[in-house]
C-alpha cells in the first residue's frame, strides 16, 4: 500500500539555520512521483516541486534543495539559511502511476510544522 | 486574480443542514479534485473528476456528493452535515501532462464548521 511518513511533527529553528524536513514513502510500484507542498499560515497550499522515480538527481532552487534516494525511499527537503517567511507546514506527497490517464491520486504525509524564530 | 477560487472561504452551519462548497478555475485544466484536511491527518481525497462526465470516489467519499457543472466548476455537497465533517476543504486542479501524472494546484481552502 502507498504511504508517506513525515516523522517530524514540528521543528523550530532560529533564522539563518539550515533545516531538513524528512519524507519517507512506501509504494509497490516502480513508477511514481513525489511532491512537496508548502502551507503558510494563511492556509493555501503552494506547490514546490515534483520528482519522478526515474530521476534521482538532487534539485536546488535558491535556498531550497531536495535529496531523492530510492535506496532509502526518502525524499528530503532542505532549507538553507532559513527565514521567518519559511514558517509553514510542509507536506510531502506520493502519486503512483497506473497507466496513462488512469489515476492521479495524491497520498499526503501528515505534514511538518516549521517555525523559524527571528 | 487567483487561478483556483473557492466559495465560501468560511462557513459555519448546523448539524443536518445541506451545504455546498464551490470551486471554479481559470487554468483551463480538465481534472478537478476535492480534499479535506484534518489536524494531524494531512489531506485526504474525497472525490475527483477527470472531465465533466467522469466522476470518481476518493478515499473518504461517504457523506459527500459532487457535481461537475462545467469544465471550470466542481461543487462539493454535504447532504446532511455532521460535526465530524468540520475541516478545511481544498479544491485542486491539474492538467494531463505528457507523462503519466500531473501536478495538482490547490485553491485557497474553505474552512467549514459544523455545530
Distance from CA of A33 to the nearest CA of B (A): 8
Burial string for A50-71 (b: 16+ CB within 10 Å, else e) reads bbbbeeeeeeeeeebbbebeee
Residue A105 to residue B58, Cβ atoms within 8 A: yes
Q: What average pLDDT does the segment A21-30 reach?
A: 93
Residue A25 is predicted with a pLDDT of 97
Cα–Cα distance, A46 to A30 (Å, whole number)? 27
What is the average pLDDT value for chain A, to the nearest integer?
Answer: 91
Q: H/E/C letters for each residue in B82-104?
A: CHHHCEEEEEEEECCCCCCCCCC
Residue B8 is predicted with a pLDDT of 97
Q: What average pLDDT does the segment A16-33 reach?
A: 93
Q: What is the pLDDT along chain B (115 residues), one digit of tens a residue?
A: 569 999 999 999 999 999 999 999 998 888 999 999 998 888 999 999 988 999 999 989 999 999 999 999 999 999 999 999 999 999 999 887 655 567 899 999 999 999 9
Measured from the Cβ of residue A33, the count of other Cβ atoms closer than 10 Å reads 22
Kindly list the residues of chain B whose beta carbon comes within 8 Å of any beta carbon in chain A.
Answer: 31, 40-45, 48, 50, 58-59, 88, 90, 92, 94, 96, 99-109, 111
Of A74-83, A98-107, B8-17, B52-61, the least confident: A98-107
Cross-chain CB nearest to B100 (options A91, A97, A105): A97
Residue B50 is predicted with a pLDDT of 87
pLDDT at A101 over 80: no
pLDDT higher at B19 or A98: B19
Residue A13 is predicted with a pLDDT of 97
pLDDT at A103 over 60: no
User: Could you give the maximum distance between any two Cα atoms of chain B, in Å?
Assistant: 45
Assign A35 a pLDDT band (cuts: 50, 70, 90).
very high
Q: What average pLDDT does the segment A95-114 reach?
A: 77
Measured from the Cβ of residue A45, the count of other Cβ atoms closer than 10 Å reads 26
Residues in B touching A35 (Cβ below 8 Å): 103
Assign A97 a pLDDT band (cuts: 50, 70, 90).
low
Residue A37 to residue B48, Cβ atoms within 8 A: no
Q: Does A115 touch chain B (CB under 8 A)?
A: no
Residue A105 is predicted with a pLDDT of 80
Q: Does A100 touch chain B (CB under 8 A)?
A: yes
pLDDT at A106 over 80: yes
Closest-CA residue of chain A to B40: A110
Q: Does A109 touch chain B (CB under 8 A)?
A: yes
Residue B41 is predicted with a pLDDT of 84
Residue A96 is predicted with a pLDDT of 72
In the numeric block, which cell numbers belong to residue A51? 520528482
Amino acid at each position: 500500500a502507498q504511504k508517506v511518513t513525515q516523522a517530524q511533527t514540528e521543528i523550530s529553528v532560529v533564522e539563518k539555520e539550515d533545516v531538513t524536513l524528512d519524507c519517507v514513502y512506501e509504494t509497490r510500484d516502480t513508477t511514481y512521483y513525489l511532491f512537496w507542498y508548502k502551507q503558510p499560515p494563511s492556509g493555501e497550499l503552494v506547490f514546490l516541486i515534483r520528482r519522478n522515480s526515474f530521476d534521482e538527481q538532487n534539485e536546488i532552487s535558491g535556498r531550497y534543495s531536495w535529496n531523492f534516494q530510492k535506496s532509502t525511499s526518502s525524499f528530503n527537503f532542505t532549507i538553507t539559511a532559513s527565514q521567518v517567511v519559511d514558517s509553514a507546514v510542509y507536506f510531502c506527497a506520493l502519486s503512483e502511476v497506473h497507466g496513462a490517464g488512469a489515476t492521479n491520486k495524491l497520498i499526503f504525509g501528515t505534514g511538518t510544522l516549521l517555525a523559524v524564530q527571528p | 486574480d487567483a487561478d483556483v477560487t473557492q466559495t465560501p472561504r468560511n462557513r459555519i452551519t448546523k448539524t443536518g443542514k445541506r451545504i455546498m462548497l464551490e470551486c471554479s478555475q481559470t487554468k483551463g485544466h480538465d481534472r478537478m479534485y476535492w480534499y479535506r484536511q484534518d489536524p494531524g491527518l494531512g489531506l485526504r481525497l474525497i472525490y475527483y473528476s477527470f472531465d465533466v462526465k467522469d466522476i470518481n470516489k476518493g478515499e473518504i467519499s461517504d457523506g459527500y456528493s459532487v457535481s461537475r457543472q462545467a469544465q471550470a466548476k466542481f461543487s462539493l455537497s454535504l447532504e446532511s452535515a455532521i460535526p465530524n465533517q468540520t475541516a478545511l476543504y481544498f479544491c485542486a486542479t491539474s492538467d494531463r501532462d505528457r507523462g503519466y501524472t500531473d501536478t495538482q494546484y490547490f485553491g485557497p481552502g474553505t474552512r467549514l464548521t459544523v455545530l
